[in-house]
């Protein structure tokens, strides 16, 4: 059971939600109702796979601290069904790493994946860590799945919140929240390789600060990705949706309303900055610094919001560091970040947010087939990092 101080904090959260959340969500619902349905889920091929229809954990009812009984965007009213999400790989459960006391839960990976994703690369990384791999799309649903989510909504946010809620009374010592692919454009590595990032992560740094983003480069996210009061409004960033706006523009436009709904009574920051893209480590103590009721509240918001996945997930992407006790702008200098977080010290860094040989924004979000041995034009390339085969 959580210690008494968390129980008191939980009561405070429930009172805040009751007083402020009801009013906030009434305004929120009216606001989007007047929007003429412009913010329904996109139907593109990539979005269709990412936003595959979700279902509920078998026999479990969602009990949000506010009224979330209306229909949820992208599907009908929430219904009960068995086997939501599946665990594709779970090994090392209960494994104890050096320095972890007997009876404590060791360290764990929480991985968001879709059916068919290759997660075998994780097997040789961080030996002794639990691997909790959530499979969130419809093809992978299995009755009685050990790991599940209420619904496939909000990108990685639903998995992260569900893991915390389901494990709150016995959280791992350190939890690494990750995406499933080894090679991803946003991995902070010269080959965009996830293995060096995990293998070189300094747990002493994570324990010292309670939270560590897995990106040090300021490209995308830092130092001021979201400015709720920006004038003139943000425009012309990324691919446009049907209404002519981009996901970044939508997120900034609705961040104030979302922040007030997520964090009742807290002041909306003028500027929000953190390295993208929702991969990070957090200690048990840091996660427990907010009560269980808070995480239930965040997930209920995610289930109820009419915002499309690309926006609701992005709101959470730029809120995790706030949830875990960091300032709204959490952008340490890249030189110090690489040294402290991964042990890459003495780098040449021409600017506060960039170091030579570490990260370059690729020309496309999808890496070419055969990467990292095949380059964008189809020619052979030499690996820059040390990730191995």
pLDDT range class, residue 366, cuts 50, 70, 90: very high
Q: Which of 80-84, 86-90, 257-261 has the lowest mean pLDDT?
A: 80-84
Instruction: Give the separation between CA 94 and CA 32, rounded to whole angstroms.
Output: 45
Q: Which of these, 233, 195, 209, 239, lies nearest to 324 by C-alpha position? A: 209
Assess whether pLDDT exceeds 60 at residue 260. yes
pLDDT 10s digits, 204-232: 999 999 999 999 999 999 999 999 988 76
Three-class secondary structure assignment of 224-268? CCECCCCCCCCCCCCCCCCCCCCHHHHHHHHHHHHHHHHCCCCCC
The single-letter DSSP state of residue 214 is S
**Residue 137: pLDDT band with limits 50, 70, 90:** confident
Cα-based torsion angle of the residue sequence 23, 55, 324, 189 in order, rounded to the nearest 10 degrees: -140
pLDDT at 38: 25
d(CA 374, CA 381): 6
* pLDDT given for residue 247 in this prediction: 79
CB 114 within 8 A of CB 94: no
Sign for the CA dihedral angle at 373, 376, 381, 385 comes to negative
pTM for this model (two decimals): 0.75
Q: CA gyration radius for the chain?
A: 20
Which comes out higher in pLDDT, residue 37 or 206? 206
Kindly list the strands in the beta sheet with 130-135, ordered across the sheet, starting from the edge strand earlier in the chain: 86-87, 130-135, 108-113, 174-179, 280-283, 211-213
Backbone angles phi, psi at 57, to 5 degrees: -55, 140
Tokens of 102: 């007997």
Average pLDDT, the chain: 76
The SS3 assignment for 135 reads strand
Question: How far apart (Å, rounded) are the C-alpha atoms in residues 226 and 315?
Answer: 10
Burial class (CB in 10 A: 0-12, 13-18, 19+), 326: middle
Task: Note whether 380 and 374 are within 8 A (CB).
Answer: yes
Instruction: Tell me the torsion sign for CA atoms 5, 161, 365, 38.
Output: negative
Q: What is the distance between the alpha carbons of residues 221 and 330, in angstroms, rounded to a whole number?
A: 10
Nearest to residue 216, comparing CAs of 41, 367, 354, 70? Answer: 354
Q: In this predicted structure, what is the pLDDT of residue 250?
A: 86
Residue 153, classed as helix, strand or coil, is coil
What is the dihedral sign for C-alpha 308, 219, 299, 16?
negative
Q: Which of 59-63, 77-81, 83-87, 233-237 has the lowest mean pLDDT?
A: 77-81
Greater model confidence, 289 or 25: 289
């Amino acid at each position: 059971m959580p210690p008494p101080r968390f129980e008191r904090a939980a009561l405070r959260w429930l009172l805040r939600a009751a007083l402020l959340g009801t009013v906030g969500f009434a305004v929120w619902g009216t606001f989007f109702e007047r929007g003429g349905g412009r913010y329904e889920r996109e139907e593109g091929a990539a979005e269709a796979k990412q936003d595959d229809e979700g279902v509920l954990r078998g026999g479990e009812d969602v009990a949000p601290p506010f009224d979330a009984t209306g229909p949820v965007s992208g599907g009908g009213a929430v219904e009960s069904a068995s086997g939501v999400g599946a665990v594709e790989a779970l090994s090392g459960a209960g494994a104890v790493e050096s320095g972890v006391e007997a009876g404590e839960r060791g360290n764990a990976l929480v991985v968001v994946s879709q059916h068919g994703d290759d997660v075998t690369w994780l097997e040789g990384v961080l030996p002794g860590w639990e691997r909790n791999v959530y499979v969130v799309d419809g093809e992978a649903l299995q009755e009685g799945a050990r790991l599940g989510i209420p619904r496939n909504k909000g990108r990685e946010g639903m998995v992260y919140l569900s893991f915390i809620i389901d494990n709150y009374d016995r959280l791992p010592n350190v939890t690494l929240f990750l995406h499933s692919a080894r090679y991803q454009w946003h991995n902070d590595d010269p080959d965009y390789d996830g293995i060096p990032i995990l293998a070189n992560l300094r747990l002493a740094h994570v324990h010292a600060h309670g939270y560590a983003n897995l990106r040090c480069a300021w490209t995308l996210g830092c130092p001021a990705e979201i400015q709720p009061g920006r004038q003139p409004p943000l425009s012309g960033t990324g691919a446009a949706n049907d209404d002519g706006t981009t996901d970044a523009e939508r997120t900034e436009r609705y961040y104030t309303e979302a922040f007030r709904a997520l964090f009742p009574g807290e002041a909306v920051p003028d500027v929000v900055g953190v390295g993208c893209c929702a991969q990070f480590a957090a200690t048990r103590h840091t996660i427990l610094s907010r009560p269980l009721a808070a995480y239930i509240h965040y997930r209920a918001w995610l289930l109820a919001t009419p915002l499309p996945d690309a926006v609701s997930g992005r709101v959470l992407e730029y809120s995790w560091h706030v949830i875990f006790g960091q300032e709204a702008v959490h952008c340490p200098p890249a030189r110090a970040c690489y040294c402290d977080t991964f042990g890459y010290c003495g780098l040449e860094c021409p600017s506060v947010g960039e170091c030579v040989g570490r990260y370059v924004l690729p020309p496309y979000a999808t890496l070419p087939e055969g990467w990292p041995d095949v380059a964008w034009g189809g020619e052979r390339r030499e690996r820059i990092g040390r990730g191995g085969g």
